[in-house]
Amino acid sequence: MSSNFFVRHSFQCSLFIAFIVLFSLQWCAFAADFPNPVTKCHFGDEKCMIEQATKLLKKAATGIPEKNIPSLEPWKVAKIETLGDKSKALNVDLVMSNVEFYNYTKASVSGIKGFTKDLSKPMKIVTRNINPHMTIKAHYKINGNILVLPVIGEGEMTMVLDNVKSRFTTTIKAQERNGKHYMSVDNIKIESSVDRVTTEMTNLFNGDKTLSESILEVMNENWRVLSDELTPRINAALAHSLEELLTNFFIDIPYEDYFLTE
Ligand SMILES: *[C@@H]1O[C@H](CO)[C@@H](O)[C@H](O)[C@H]1NC(C)=O
């Protein structure tokens, strides 16, 4: 009886596998579209693309499960690290962990350029946005000097950034699959400027109130010292995360379907 049982089961099993394979083939054949409410634009219609990108950001706040994009409000990054450099005004080892960006999705997109019709060459896409007010929260561990003053501690930090203007550059390349072109995102760079950074840190110097208050005052009066060093690290971490998100987003949408054809 056991061999019969086995045969019947393995037959059912093969049916099941055949069904899965068939289903996934069909799945591939149905090219995905932009998620609602993002719509297509005419080629070169930057105003329309800006509107769609803004809608997409808003949608990303709650996540886009069908595109494997988690909620970006807050946008979570595991770790951002800076190593001390004696030649710099900010000479600290700083580890930020469980980093959360709040209000990142509230940015307004101000430019999208670089989409071409020629798929034989990689496209250099440049996007710009402006974020009036965002907040970064993280667990921190710091040790070093800021403007030659010693600073040490471990606790929670909050940075409020006013008027962040960012420029995103990326190269996208077309890969052909089943007669259609799918784009892969590569090498995202984020550069940004900010009008003001205000930092709060709990438990500096093991909770010594006088020392904490005076170092935070120095940090906030000289916020550029902090921001000049941290901004490139933060942007590199975000760029890395964004690369994954955009890869998920574009993976099943053929470039042929990006724009309206009439
Ligand atoms: C998010 O932005 C709104 C204004 O759009 C502001 O009132 C709020 O304080 C911001 N939240 C954080 C955590 O920065």
Q: How confident is the model at residue 193 (pLDDT cuts 50, 70, 90)?
A: very high
The pLDDT score that the predictor gives to residue 24 is 54
Which atom number of ligand 1 is nearest to the Cα of residue 135? 14
Distance 253 CA to ligand 1 centre (A): 33
What is the three-class DSSP state of 170? strand
- Average pLDDT, integer, range 85-98: 94
Question: For residue 258, is pLDDT > 80?
Answer: yes
Q: Which residues line ligand 1 (CB under 6 A)?
A: 102-103, 106, 133-135
Under the banding of pLDDT at 50, 70 and 90, the label for residue 224 is very high
pLDDT (average), residues 97-121? 95
What does the pLDDT average to over 31-50? 89
Distance of alpha carbon 77 from alpha carbon 96, whole angstroms: 9
Which residue's C-alpha comes closest to atom 4 of ligand 1? 133
Predicted confidence band at 29 (pLDDT cuts at 50, 70, 90)? very low
Average pLDDT of every residue of the chain? 90
Query: In testing the pocket of ligand 1, which one of 101, 103, 200 has its CB within 8 Å of the most ligand atoms?
Result: 103
Nearest C-alpha neighbor of 235 from the set 146, 129, 132? 129
- Does residue 196 register a pLDDT over 60? yes
Atom of ligand 1 nearest to the CA of 160: 14
Q: What are phi and psi of 152, to 5 degrees?
A: -150, 145
pLDDT of residue 5: 55
Domains in the chain, ordered, with CATH?
2-115+127-170+188-257 (3.15.10.30)
Give the dihedral of Cα atoms 174, 58, 113, 115; nearest 10 deg.
30
Please give the pLDDT value at position 72: 97
- Say what the pTM is: 0.85
For the cut 80, the answer to whether the pLDDT of residue 28 exceeds it is no
Contact status, residue 183 vs residue 225, Cβ threshold 8 Å: no
**Minimal-distance CA residue to ligand 1 atom 1:** 103
Say whether pLDDT at 26 is over 50.
no
